[in-house]
Amino acid sequence: MAGRDRASGRVSVAVYADAEALASAVATAVAEEARRSVEVRGRFAVALAGGATPRRAYELLAEPPLLGVVPWQGVQVFWTDERCVEESDPRSNERMAREALVDRVPIPPDRIHPIRCGADQEGKRGADAPGAEQVARRSAAEYDALLRRLFQGGDHTVSSGLLHHTGSAGRFHHAGSAGTALDLALLGVGTDGHTASLFPDSEVIHERRRWAAPVFGHAVPGPGATAGGEGLWRVTLTVPFINMAASVLFVASGAEKASIVAEVLEGPPDADRLPVRLIRPPTGTVRWFLDGSAATLLSK
């Protein structure tokens, strides 16, 4: 249950008692949105956040009662971003979401669209392998092409009767919304104001054309992490693509997020330093789901 709930314009903020209540609220909101989207649009195209925060919500979606609420056959799964490591690496966002959710529910395999940037065609694997940058660049270009094929038209194999068809192309189409885009982008936020892999002061935050792009960014602790916390190649959805989404849901948990949450929601409009503030879908809704610890520095 929300301890506090407030809304201004299309941005709403809901605060839950603790991390478990937050996870439950996020999972319920996603399930409800999936049900409604499949009913109205014939499909639910969702981009899943990586990081640690959403894991529990993913687990709850894969368990009764929410397991039975989501029309899984109509779900199309994307990732907001990926760290360019092997799929088996504990730092892999694909691995986390598969373990917690995707591999535990009946989503048809051809509707699961991971970003694969941890291996090159010569079999060299991992962020430290020669060619990691090239692999990230190629993978981003391929993901961009995949998104354009699925959202702009032409791929009947993935639309197979579940999607609204527009003209001759079997593309995704938002009945009743301005564009063809994600139904939901689920996003986390970093203590530096990044979201997805859109890091402060990185070129990628100014991307206007591509829908997926490579970026060299933060390292994540774990096996295979480079010494000294050196960064990692990643692939991320870009600001223009995320901003076409019908709905964006940010989730933040824990005291270490309190200061960035307050700055993003109540601070001066300094979007370039805080990439999370660039996410403002002109026709979509934005919801922030917080636990009490992440909300402690909010004014009300």
- Is 247:283 a contact under the CB 8 Å cutoff? no
Cα dihedral value 53, 59, 65, 67, nearest 10: 120
Enter the tokens of residue 80.
């907001």
Which residues pair with residue 15 across a beta bridge?
Answer: 4, 290
Under the binding rule (CB under 6 A), the answer on residue 188 touching ligand 6PG is yes
Q: Which stretch binds ligand 6PG (CB under 6 A): 25-33, 77-85, 115-123, 137-145?
A: 77-85
- State the nearest-atom distance from the C-beta of 122 to ligand 6PG, in Å: 25
Q: Which residues of 226-247 are buried (b: 16+ CB within 10 A; e: fewer)?
A: eeeeeebbbbbbbbebbbbbbb
Q: Pairing mode, if any, of strands 44-48 and 184-187?
A: parallel
- State the nearest-atom distance from the C-beta of 93 to ligand 6PG, in Å: 5
Q: Which residues of 28-65 are buried (b: 16+ CB within 10 A; e: fewer)?
A: bbbbebbbebbeebbbbbbbbbbbebbbbbbebbbeee
Residue 159 or residue 202: which is nearer to ligand 6PG going by CB?
202
- State the nearest-atom distance from the C-beta of 19 to ligand 6PG, in Å: 11
- Other Cβ atoms closer than 10 A to 298: 17
Enter the tokens of residue 251.
């989730």
Under the binding rule (CB under 6 A), the answer on residue 196 touching ligand 6PG is yes
- State the nearest-atom distance from the C-beta of 55 to ligand 6PG, in Å: 8
Single out the residue of 52, 145, 175, 255 in contact with ligand 6PG (rule: CB under 6 A): 52
Q: How many residues bind ligand 6PG (CB under 6 A)?
A: 16
- State the nearest-atom distance from the C-beta of 73 to ligand 6PG, in Å: 26
Phi, psi dihedrals of residue 60, rounded to the nearest 5° = -65, -30
The footprint of ligand 6PG on residues 203-232 (CB under 6 A) is none
Under the binding rule (CB under 6 A), the answer on residue 118 touching ligand 6PG is no
Residue 173 or residue 199: which is nearer to ligand 6PG going by CB?
199
Enter the tokens of residue 191.
């203590």
Single out the residue of 13, 38, 72, 80 in contact with ligand 6PG (rule: CB under 6 A): 80
- State the nearest-atom distance from the C-beta of 143 to ligand 6PG, in Å: 14
Under the binding rule (CB under 6 A), the answer on residue 93 touching ligand 6PG is yes
Residue 49 or residue 295: which is nearer to ligand 6PG going by CB?
49
Chain residues that interact with ligand 6PG, rule: CB under 6 A: 49-53, 80-81, 83, 93, 188-190, 194-197
